[in-house]
A and B are shown apart, each in its own frame.
Chain A
């Protein structure tokens, strides 16, 4: 800031002119500053008046369903002018932590909640499966548009036991396909993830070596080999698979569909090779019975057309809310997601809930008070 200085008649002419210019600049600068402060104040006032009077619902959790949840919440907020729904994709574990600490109004998780976590919430927890998805194996082999992997082959690949693409075990399920003499690079998740949880649950169900080895978890200990690399998040794994010849990795179906990467046809329980799609996912879900607490896992689904790796993903609500208005809004939100929301599932690469499941979830949503 230029200090203002009194101009005295004792000053030489040049200095006086300099000081006049400086004080003019000072005037221009202070007018500019005043205008900027006014603009800022108006924006803040306008912004806060836009939000004031609106009910804000916040949630956090899984990144697996983030694309479809954010679409749903955007449409819902637009349709209801006095409600804003915010969802932060931090990961299932962080979402559950926020839910237990009462930092959010609802949470989302691919791994539901275990009994220990439910016991920490004194109002009681209502788990509601909202949407389902599949986990696909994606690969990068030039000149191989279709690949089939049998039940004993793909766990062995992820254990690091099968190391080359032209291994006879792989060639057996792919007659006539020219498999190159390339080492297999396995790409897995570097960060803790619900996708890894579901994938390892499935592998433990079909392979004893896996169950006694890495086991189930959001992070597991992968085989120590220079051909096992990791990347952060579904998007990172997809990028590495696309850039590495001879790579194979597990990603969520929506990502594979959007990125247009080739997907492996996996052998299901009945022995058929099934390509991932909405229909094969729905076939897998149709055979699962939903228990009263809504926690159902499908590590090894029955059905001749079922895709073997499918999972529900849950939204977590308190059974009792301090503000009954919030509870009513949340019930209405659930209803929207269960009916209009399911129609968007296929476009975004998710599996809509079967009709009987929708009925059950809607009935259970009345437990939210």
Chain B
């Protein structure tokens, strides 16, 4: 039997189904080339940013070496620079914010996805929490100074008086400090963690939940022992994203953290972070100081990179060992 091979012979001239014309092929090629170019451009952009910052920082890195990372004095007049208090402040405030914001974010995600609320109220709450992400950082800083700090002052004084022997409460709250900064930071990362955790929980196939109920679990057993471990990868991704945001947060912390080079566990003492240091010192930095500040920027980039790599490693390790249960 002789069947026609090409579709040219079968398709009438004025039909919708045509093989691609020369114009279509050209548009297709251009589209592919453009998407390819833009993807590579993004990578090159990151490489270029690191190259420029690293290049400006190189003289300062060669001159100061690792002593920069362990020094605690910042004295532009005598050219003595050290960022250990800032590194400590960045890590401490971000981890504190992650504990508080992460806990509440996951709790909100569970509350909003596990049928605790009627649909309409769920939508309202979800949108309100996403609105938190839209509030500018400076507004959070102002709110922190004028509302939050006076609000927590009685609590801080009580904790200092009664539990002052604990290293966490060993100083009085003198206005801006680590605790108000960490609280505001946790509110800022809350929408990120909540939204992504909600997506992770909603993406669980209904079969898994039904299987858990079918085996006789209570509602909470199902949520805590079956659903959360299943969504663990997504929730962990949410936490890493939240931590990344907290590490880089600038304006709110510049106003709330007290900008004092203290290396202490006390929650109520002022502290300093890398991002705040850079934001406040860059505008009037002399040329010598710019190299040093770029070095601090490189350190911040390295910290963020290490945190993200560490997160990825933990995810892949947990997936390999326990995720399949």
Contact = CB atoms under 8 A, between A and B. Distances in A.
Contacts of B150: 243
B90 interface: no
Interface in B63-96: 72-78
Given A215-B77, A229-B260, A243-B145, A192 B174 contact: no
Contacts of A192: 280-281, 283-285
Contact of A190 (B73, B172, B280): B280
Interface string B234-278: 000000000000000000001100111110101011100000100
Given A93-B285, A192-B283, A221 B175 contact: no
B283 A8 contact: no
A219 B73 CA distance: 13
A92 B284 CA distance: 7
Contacts of B276: 190
A10 B17 CA distance: 13
B284 A229 contact: no
Contacts of A187: 175
B12 to A, nearest CB: 9
Interface string A265-305: 00000000000000000000000000000000000000000
A183 B172 CA distance: 9
A49 interface: no
B283 to A, nearest CB: 5
Interface in B140-155: 142, 145-146, 149-150
A33 interface: no
Contact of A218 (B142, B262, B264, B284): B284
B176 A231 contact: yes
A231 B142 CA distance: 12
Contacts of B264: 226
A216 B75 CA distance: 11
B115 interface: no
A193 interface: yes
B283 A224 contact: no
Contact residue range for chain B? 35 or more
B7 interface: no
A231 B74 CA distance: 16
Contact of B174 (A94, A229, A232, A239): A229
Interface string A188-223: 001111000000000000000000001111111110
A105 B149 CA distance: 43
Contacts of B283: 90-91, 93-94, 191-192
A190 B283 CA distance: 12
Interface residues of A, number: 39
B73 A221 contact: yes
Given A224-B262, A229-B175, A231-B176, A243 B255 contact: no
Contacts of A90: 283
A361 interface: no
Interface string B100-134: 00000000000000000000000000000000000
A259 to B, nearest CB: 13
A311 interface: no
Nearest to B251: A232
B2 interface: no
A321 to B, nearest CB: 27
A244 interface: yes
Nearest to B75: A221
B281 A228 contact: no
Contact of B286 (A93, A190, A227, A232): A93
A8 B14 contact: yes
Contact of A217 (B16, B77, B175, B280): B77
B197 interface: no
Contacts of B146: 239, 243
Contacts of A247: 174-175
A104 to B, nearest CB: 15
A134 B15 CA distance: 84
Interface string A235-254: 01001100110110000000
Contact of B260 (A92, A183, A220, A226): A226
Contact of A229 (B16, B176, B281, B286): B176
B284 A183 contact: no
B175 A244 contact: yes
Contacts of A231: 176, 255, 259
Given A93-B285, A217-B76, A217-B77, A226 B254 contact: no
Contacts of B73: 221
A200 B323 CA distance: 61
Contacts of A185: 174-175
Contacts of B230: none
A221 B73 CA distance: 8
B171 interface: yes
Nearest to A228: B260
A138 B254 CA distance: 21
B264 to A, nearest CB: 7
B28 to A, nearest CB: 15
Contacts of A217: 76-77
A162 interface: no
Given A93-B284, A191-B284, A226 B174 contact: yes
Q: 9 nearest interchain CB pairs?
A: A192-B284, A93-B284, A230-B259, A244-B175, A190-B259, A226-B269, A221-B75, A185-B174, A229-B258
Given A217-B76, A218-B284, A232-B255, 15 more contacts: A8-B14, A91-B284, A183-B172, A190-B254, A190-B259, A192-B283, A221-B73, A221-B78, A224-B261, A230-B259, A230-B260, A232-B280, A240-B175, A240-B176, A247-B174
Interface of A: 8, 10, 90-94, 183, 185, 187, 190-193, 214-222, 224-232, 236, 239-240, 243-244, 246-247
7 contacts: A90-B283, A91-B283, A217-B77, A219-B281, A226-B174, A226-B268, A246-B174
